[in-house]
């Protein structure tokens, strides 16, 4: 398996450059991605930085195979990997791009919701989260993600009220 990943990386242009990028088919790129995902997500011993190679492979696939049905999914997976690496703003940008440029992608609403979720949970940007969740409700009203956004909006408001109540309680306790 390690040999397959090495060959895949070489084929994608990350190795010696013996194979030019234009000679690699979209199918071969998907096979290389699948091999790297298997190595990363199925608990194999990972040598080197497979995550960075996978990020690159997702982006390279999207650039070289833009018209393929798998393109938005590869970018969605890239966003997930970016988030796991702590690149939250870049993950949000990637999710917005998938949402805005692939109208037939079945998980568009999920992309939009995740932008708000990352803003709320990873960046602590409640205002950005509120705006994004409201956009999910407005743009994808009948989706499951719109329901998640409604719940998240209610939780944002509840947390704000709880913070205010706690602040008032603490202020009253310390004021003579």
In a domain, 146, yes or no: yes
Does residue 176 sit in the same domain as residue 100?
A: yes
In a domain, 85, yes or no: no
Q: How far apart are CA 33 and CA 141, in angstroms?
A: 34
In a domain, 137, yes or no: yes
Q: What is the pLDDT of residues 15-43, one digit of tens each?
A: 444 445 557 899 999 999 999 998 887 76
| Total residues belonging to the chain | 176
Does residue 62 sit in the same domain as residue 121?
A: no
Number of domains in the chain: 2
Model confidence, pTM: 0.76
Please give the pLDDT value at position 158. 72
In a domain, 164, yes or no: yes
Closest CA to 28 of 57, 59, 69, 66: 57
> pLDDT tier at 133 (50, 70, 90 boundaries)?
very high
Does residue 100 sit in the same domain as residue 57?
A: no
Q: Which domain holds residue 140?
A: 95-176
In a domain, 88, yes or no: no
Closest CA to 30 of 49, 43, 12: 12
Does residue 61 sit in the same domain as residue 107?
A: no
Does residue 120 sit in the same domain as residue 63?
A: no
Q: What is the pLDDT of residues 86-102, one digit of tens each?
A: 999 999 999 999 999 99
Does residue 102 sit in the same domain as residue 176?
A: yes
In a domain, 148, yes or no: yes
Residues in Cβ contact with 76 at an 8 Å cutoff, skipping those fewer than 6 apart: 94, 95, 98, 105, 107, 111
Average of per-residue pLDDT across 133-152: 97
The residue from 52, 68, 84 where one domain ends is 68
In a domain, 82, yes or no: no
Does residue 113 sit in the same domain as residue 59?
A: no
The residue from 68, 83, 106 where one domain ends is 68
In a domain, 84, yes or no: no
Please give the pLDDT value at position 9. 44
Residues in Cβ contact with 137 at an 8 Å cutoff, skipping those fewer than 6 apart: 146, 149, 150, 153
């Amino acid at each position: 398996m390690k040999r397959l990943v090495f060959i895949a990386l070489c084929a994608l242009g990350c190795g010696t450059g013996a194979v030019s990028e234009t000679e690699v088919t979209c199918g071969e790129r998907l096979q290389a991605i699948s091999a790297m995902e298997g190595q990363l997500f199925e608990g194999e011993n990972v040598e080197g930085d497979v995550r960075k190679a996978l990020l690159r492979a997702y982006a390279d696939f999207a650039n070289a195979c833009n018209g393929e049905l798998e393109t938005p999914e590869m970018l969605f997976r890239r966003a997930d990997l970016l988030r796991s690496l702590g690149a939250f703003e870049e993950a949000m940008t990637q999710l917005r791009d998938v949402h805005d440029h692939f109208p037939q992608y079945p998980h568009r609403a999920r992309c939009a919701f995740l932008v708000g979720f990352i803003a709320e949970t990873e960046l602590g940007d409640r205002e950005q989260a509120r705006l994004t969740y409201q956009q999910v409700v407005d743009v994808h009203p009948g989706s499951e993600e719109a329901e998640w956004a409604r719940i998240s909006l209610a939780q944002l408001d509840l947390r704000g009220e709880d913070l205010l109540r706690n602040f008032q309680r603490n202020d009253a306790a310390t004021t003579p």
